[in-house]
Amino acid sequence: MATMDLTNEVVRLRAELEKVSTERDMLLCEVSNLRRELELSELKHLQDDVRPPPYACLLLPLFGRFPPTVTSEGPPALSKDPFTRASSSV
């Protein structure tokens, strides 16, 4: 009778192990998918940071190639002539 109980316990534990292993595999797959989505999102943000804004062509006559970046000191100063940049010898 003890052998029968042990055999049933082994069968039950194997079934539980199979269930837990399947759940683990599903979770690992989900983690992999989430990591891929995060990497794609980060790449998209990097591309957005590098690409000039769509209105940049309107600012070219004022600032040159690309619009200036606003820093903690504020936007860059314009010279009296809007078609040239102010010298930054401060």
User: Where exactly are the structural domains of the chain?
Assistant: 2-51, 54-90
pLDDT higher than threshold 80 for residue 51 = no
Helices marked H in 1-90 — which ranges? 2-50, 56-63
Task: Express each pLDDT in 19-28 by its tens digit.
Answer: 999 999 999 9
Higher pLDDT, 7 or 52: 7
Of 32, 40, 66, 41, the residue nearest 51 (C-alpha): 66
